[in-house]
Structure 1
Amino acid sequence: MYDTDADPHEVVNLAARPDFRTELARLRQALDAHMLAVNDNGFIPESETAEGYVRSRDRALYPLPEITAVAASAIDRTQASVPALRDALSHPNEIVRYWAAAGFRIRGRAVATYRGQLAATFDRESSRFTRLALAEALVAVAHDRRGLDHLASALRHDPDGWLRLQAANALDRVGRDALPVIDALYAATTRFASDADTHTRNACSYTIRKLEGGSPSIP
């Protein structure tokens, strides 16, 4: 949130200032209303079942009001919203569960007491997309090796190129925790099965350079 007249380069973020709280709330409400009005598809993991103009309008596949509520809880980083994320882990819709998992991943060690529930949810999760998000959450929250191995396995073997890219991005986010599976990153740099794998190759090359202490660059 910027004063583009006084600050044309948008250097000073005004969002946290108390005197802009009312305006920030107004803009947030306007954005939420707009996303619902246009049926914003941006919350759908790439290549998940709900993608597409027609399918995303099926509220059983894409309950956007519930998804945006959980996504908002995911990004606010407060402990007060953790119970809502915990409850959303058992929601019948996989995209809602995906965003609940993302909320735990964002909080990391701060929600380590939920490790057991995350592990149990991971074990029973049927959606490949949500299971990937839960695996990343397990690594972020508890250094869980099962989560790390799942990310590496998805990168190597999942049949969906876009999900392999999501696994590569997850391994980049977990940072040094990805070192034990660096071989999976190397293997992905030579794969060219789909357009998605071109992006995955570049993403993995970038992460390898970071893990090995080089200067990361984007090919």
Structure 2
Amino acid sequence: MTTEEKIFNAARIVFQKKGFAGARMQEIADEAGINKAMLHYCFKNKELLFQAVFMNAFSQLAPQINEIFNSEDSIFDKIRKFTHSYISFVMLNPYLPQFVIQEMNNNPEFVMSFLTNENRPNPTLLIAQIEKEIASGIIKTIHPKQLLMNLISMTVFPFAAQMMIKGMLQISDKEFNAMMEERKTSIAEQIINSIKR
């Protein structure tokens, strides 16, 4: 394993436990089994390290999403696969949605750099398919981008607002995770039932 791979693995563990704000470079260096000077040599500060970890994770998620969007599957199967794939991924990388929201406020250039990247999730073919299935009478008339916004919002929001949801609903980490497992299928079925004729 290279030094960079050790750092990425360590950073993921620490960011997952402590979040971006609570993580310390010394903890990451200790977890990686290197000294802090070596960590700073590779990554000058915590934000640059987090951005690198994020882009590494994003580069794993984007192809999965594009494979779903661009497949020959029906809209209903794509919705099911998207919710399952996205929620599974974020449960393994729970710090990512909160980091994106934080960066949208503090560093919008970074967020735009991955949202405009050629490898980003691209829903163009999916939007065309939604329009075609509306015209064919398979699904109800709905603006395709509204449908995508509903799909994304219902999957992303619980992770982005995890602390608020746990507090409001008075649920433990274990209960939250169980609910997220449930949402892998329940979100898809709610959306499908709302659009199918």
TM-score (norm 2): 0.28
Q: Which has the higher contact order (CA 8 A, sep 6+)?
A: 2
TM-score (norm 1): 0.26
